[in-house]
Structure 1
Amino acid sequence: MPSNYVVLSVFKLRVVADTNGLSSKTIGCNDCEPSDEEPLCNTVQATEPTASNVPKGVRPSYRWRKKVFQPPILAFTGAKMEAPANQNIKTPYQYFQQFVTADMIDGMVDNTNLYSTQKMGKSINTTKKEVEQMMGMYFHMGLVRMSSVRQYWKQGTNYVPVSSVMPRNRFQQLATQLYFVNNSSILDEQKKDKLWKIRPWLDSLRDQCLKVTAEERNSIDEMMVQYRGTTSPIRQYIKSKPLLWAFKVWGRAGTSGMLFYFDIYQSGDGTRSHLGQGGDVVMKLVFTLEKNSNYKIYADNLFTSVPLLEKLLG
């Protein structure tokens, strides 16, 4: 019997890391001997080494073992989100500015005017206020869906929260010229990133999300953002999803629904750790959380594996 054990507090399982095994095996409760002790699925014990330091090329195998389950200490010790005092409650616009900062808008304005000059020979002359108005119009379009953008201005389908803000032609002109980077300053190495045209803006938005105090319980899952175009190299076709063609975004959110961290999937590059793709995604999304604070991570079977639970526990 191997004497090397691994703690997996979330599973409430006992596993054994067998460094002599070359394949992965899990033995269920039916393979255990009857006992008057607690059920096997409520038991765990641990010693070194763990599966995470098994020699390269050797996959650890896991087996059920009979040991009295010792529940780990799960008291949360991280920073807690506190409700603001009444006088500090933000307006919707102030809340928007918390995530989309003035610097982000200014960058869009400068790069849009520069791009339009490079493309058409003259500047589109947009302003910070106009860019903010355009973003607000897109928010309203997301709430009231129509078959085409033109429908928001047409007689009979006219939608005042959109049509009264900006003429249709100006909106469509801006939509074709909106830009986030200066093409002339981008290096060839940076262009290997499939999202290089919006990378500075994405990173800034993610940094603002990280400034919000994370909750004790975090859920990690994929989000699908519908995309009907045909030119994007990162669009995904997933037959089992309601949105067949979409962008896939990995996200970590709290019980309140607040998104704390995200990463847009660009398709695999062939490099994965022993945790697999799902485990690598989880580790990427939780690395900003304070260590040893007992955050609770929830994920479905797309992400979960025994090696991942070992990694999280460590």
Structure 2
Amino acid sequence: MDSDNVRHMDTKTLSRKRPRAAVAILPQDPLESEVEDLSDSEDDDLEYIPKPGDLEDESPSKLTTGDASPYPKTAESPKRKKRKSRNTGSAINTNSGEIEDFLSMLLYMGVFEFPTFVDYWHSDSRFPPVADAMSVRRFQSLRSFLHFNDNMQNNHSPDRFYKIRPLFNMLRQQCLLIQPTNRQSIAEVMVAYKGTKAGNLHHYKSNQHDKFGFRLFCRGSSKGIIHDLLLYQGDTTFLNSGLDEDEQNPLLGTKVVTTLCTSIAEPEATVVFCDNYLISLDLVKSLQARLGVRCIGTVRANCTGGATAMDDKDLAKLGRGAYDYCSQEGVIAVRWLDKKSVSILSNACGIEPLGYVRRFCRETHQKIDITCPSVMSAYIQAKEGIDLSDMLVRLYKTPMKARRWYLPLFGYILDLCIANGWLMYKRDCNLLKEKPVHLKRFRLSVAGTLKVVNKLPARVGQPSVPPNPQKTPKRLHNPRALQPTTDVRYDCLGHWPIFGEQRGRCNLCVKGVSRWKCSKCGDGKLFLCLNNKQQCFVCYHQK
């Protein structure tokens, strides 16, 4: 070959790499969710369904190579668009048992936090409770395909939380079944999220622990158990709240408190505590008139309804712990001086009996007792419930950092279920005068139970040496049925007695013979469970 021809030859023709084709892609639909990859690279959208016009637009004339561009020459260059995902062509093929293993792994990850998900399977940092449940590829696949609603059934619903709404409604129905106390508090909770995929559903609150995230309004007891929740989404929050037209008050706090109070089982015997962001004089009167609910809460100066009381300068002259009050139409307004003055409205409690609270004094550098009205003492004790629940949820958080905005809400729901379950367990232990376990041990116990709920444990005493395949194994005359754990067997969910063909003996009555066995593990010799009671079906002896 001539050297002059090689010198003037285009270098692109000597390269083995094929030039990239610039393909015009449709802009991303904001309603579609994105599937995040656990690696650093951007993933594809598995919810993308090509439209009939999409394939026609990608004609060969528009797919150019080299320096040619499919876009018209304009003053501004087009924005770089994200590419859509390709369909995998295979089903996920999961079941309820695998989803329980997946939830168990998430609960373990909330206690033992690693920098990345892959570290749980890496040889240098392998964590057996997670790595033995399933492979990292299967975990990534389940997490990528995790959805809670069908996007094709949206039908342009005004509900902006439709992606997480079925799971949220399920949680709310279970929370409403918990027996409430007569002291309920309503407050705002933030679910941490710093992404940009949620649009204006993601808010900023400077006075919260998690300043960026989703806004929720919760109603809970003074012990921290959450009984009702409300997702805030702007103007469409109260579309299906059941409020009448005359109840549609323009104030956000009035609508929030009224909506959460409609689900109270015994409103006449319930007192609701709110902070100054939600309460007003009109709200206190309307709750008692329409629902029969009494209310106590701190109030701002412009929401007292014109109540006259001593100003801050006059209270400061009387010293710390001074108070003043006035009443009107069954509602009392109290102004109390702590470090600074606090105003409170109440139609359920008054001033007396006076109590004392301990505060730190800067002059003496010691804690002193100052006078406190009864209504203020009741408010301080009741408002600790929502703060306690929020602290327990943030103590062991499920790792759900993702580009899909609704996955942090799923992690919050999972953590809230654990917090509510632990508080109910702690309440029952106090009634039985037993010492409860720590929240961490309780969460690990739930994770371990989910891991073995549909599986039989391995036999104890298996030989470490692998058996000889040429040797025929000995057949046991009476092979022992594998037993599940006690928490799984006596949870009144699946292990129910059924009538069998073979007879078995009860452990308590040696002479008694029964044909009853367990419907799941098939055990007919041991003690069975009925209605959460261990009972023999021959002698009807209960343990």
TM-score normalised by structure 2 residue count? 0.34
- The 2-side partners of 1:257 and 1:239 are apart by 23
Q: State the Cα distance separating 1:126 from its structure 2 match.
A: 1.1
Q: Which has the higher strand share?
A: 2
- SS of structure 1 residue aligned to 2:172: helix
Aligned to 1:216: 182
- The 1-side partners of 2:218 and 2:127 are apart by 32
Aligned to 2:218: 251
- The 2-side partners of 1:294 and 1:275 are apart by 28
- SS of structure 2 residue aligned to 1:283: helix
Aligned to 2:135: 167
- The 1-side partners of 2:166 and 2:255 are apart by 23
Q: State the Cα distance separating 1:283 from its structure 2 match.
A: 0.9
Q: Is the 8 A contact 1:117 1:124 kept in 2?
A: no
Match of 1:281 among 229, 238, 256: 256
Identity of paired residues, percent?
A: 28
Q: Is the 8 A contact 1:116 1:177 kept in 2?
A: no
Match of 1:267 among 211, 220, 234: 234
Pair 211,235 (structure 1): closer, same or farther in 2 beyond 3 Å: same
CA RMSD of aligned residues (A): 2.6
Instruction: Give every structure 1 segment of 4 or more consecutive aligned residues whose post-TM-superposition deviation is greater than 6 Å.
Output: 115-118
**What whole-Å deviation, never above 9, does each CA across 1:124-154 have from its counterpart, x for those lacking one?**
1111111111122222222233333233333
Pair 288,270 (structure 1): closer, same or farther in 2 beyond 3 Å: closer
Contiguous gaps of at least 5 residues in structure 2: 1-45, 50-86, 239-246, 290-543
Q: Which has the larger radius of gyration?
A: 2
- The 2-side partners of 1:237 and 1:144 are apart by 29
Aligned to 1:80: none
Aligned to 2:195: 229
Pair 267,227 (structure 1): closer, same or farther in 2 beyond 3 Å: same
- The 2-side partners of 1:313 and 1:266 are apart by 27
Q: State the Cα distance separating 1:164 from its structure 2 match.
A: 2.6
Q: State the Cα distance separating 1:116 from its structure 2 match.
A: 8.1
Aligned to 1:305: 280
Pair 264,292 (structure 1): closer, same or farther in 2 beyond 3 Å: closer
Which segment is superposed worse, 118-127 or 169-178?
118-127
Pair 279,148 (structure 1): closer, same or farther in 2 beyond 3 Å: farther
Aligned to 2:111: 143
Q: Is the 8 A contact 2:186 2:220 kept in 1?
A: yes
- The 2-side partners of 1:244 and 1:130 are apart by 35
Pair 144,225 (structure 1): closer, same or farther in 2 beyond 3 Å: farther
**What whole-Å deviation, never above 9, does each CA across 1:72-103 have from its counterpart, x for those lacking one?**
xxxxxxxxxxxxxxxxxxxxxxxxxxxxxxxx
Q: Is the 8 A contact 1:275 1:305 kept in 2?
A: no
- The 1-side partners of 2:48 and 2:197 are apart by 24
Match of 1:122 among 85, 90, 105: 90
Match of 2:268 among 272, 293, 300: 293
Q: State the Cα distance separating 1:296 from its structure 2 match.
A: 1.2
Q: Is the 8 A contact 1:116 1:122 kept in 2?
A: no
Aligned to 1:179: 147
Aligned to 1:97: none
Pair 167,280 (structure 1): closer, same or farther in 2 beyond 3 Å: same
Q: Is the 8 A contact 1:117 1:123 kept in 2?
A: no
**What whole-Å deviation, never above 9, does each CA across 1:273-314 have from its counterpart, x for those lacking one?**
436111211111110113552201111111111111111221
- The 1-side partners of 2:267 and 2:209 are apart by 38
**What whole-Å deviation, never above 9, does each CA across 1:92-123 have from its counterpart, x for those lacking one?**
xxxxxxxxxxxxxxxxxxxxxxx889743321
Q: Is the 8 A contact 2:182 2:271 kept in 1?
A: yes
- The 2-side partners of 1:265 and 1:158 are apart by 40
Q: Are residues 1:207 and 2:173 paired?
A: yes
Aligned length: 198
- SS of structure 2 residue aligned to 1:135: helix
**What whole-Å deviation, never above 9, does each CA across 1:33-82 have from its counterpart, x for those lacking one?**
xxxxxxxxxxxxxxxxxxxxxxxxxxxxxxxxxxxxxxxxxxxxxxxxxx
**What whole-Å deviation, never above 9, does each CA across 1:172-198 have from its counterpart, x for those lacking one?**
11111012223333322x2x2111122
Match of 1:194 among 160, 169, 181: 160
Pair 158,282 (structure 1): closer, same or farther in 2 beyond 3 Å: farther
Amino acid at match of 1:205: L
- SS of structure 2 residue aligned to 1:290: coil
Amino acid at match of 1:136: S
- The 2-side partners of 1:256 and 1:264 are apart by 22
Q: Is the 8 A contact 1:116 1:123 kept in 2?
A: no
Q: State the Cα distance separating 1:262 from its structure 2 match.
A: 0.5
TM-score normalised by structure 1 residue count? 0.57
Aligned to 2:408: none
Aligned to 1:65: none
- The 2-side partners of 1:260 and 1:270 are apart by 19
Q: Is the 8 A contact 2:189 2:216 kept in 1?
A: yes
Q: Is the 8 A contact 2:190 2:211 kept in 1?
A: no
- The 2-side partners of 1:244 and 1:219 are apart by 22
